[in-house]
Amino acid sequence: MSLGQAVALLEQTSARGIDTQSLLATCQQHQTLARRYVDAYRRYCWPVRSITDLKLAPFHVLATQGETHLAKDHVWHMETLAEICRADEQLLLATPYLVIDLTDADSLAQGIQWWERLTGQGGACNIVILACRDVIDHVSTSLIARIIFPRSFVNVHYL
Distance CA 7, CA 27 (A): 6
Partnered with residue 125 across adjacent β-strands are 154
Q: What is the mean pLDDT of residues 111-140?
A: 61
* Residues in contact with 80: Cβ distance below 8 Å, sequence separation at least 6, in sequence order: 61
Report the number of secondary-structure helices (H) and strands (E) in the chain: 6, 5
pLDDT for 146 equals: 37
Evaluate whether 118 touches 96 at the Cβ level (below 8 Å): yes
Mean pLDDT of all residues in 124-140: 47
Question: β-strands 154-158, 125-130: how paired?
Answer: parallel
pLDDT digits (tens, 9 = 90+) for 20-47: 999 999 999 999 989 888 887 787 788 9
pLDDT at 124: 63
Residue 92 backbone dihedrals phi, psi, to 5 degrees = -105, 125
| pLDDT for 129 beyond 50 | yes
pLDDT at 45: 82
Whether 59 and 79 have beta carbons less than 8 Å apart is answered as no
Higher pLDDT, 159 or 73: 73
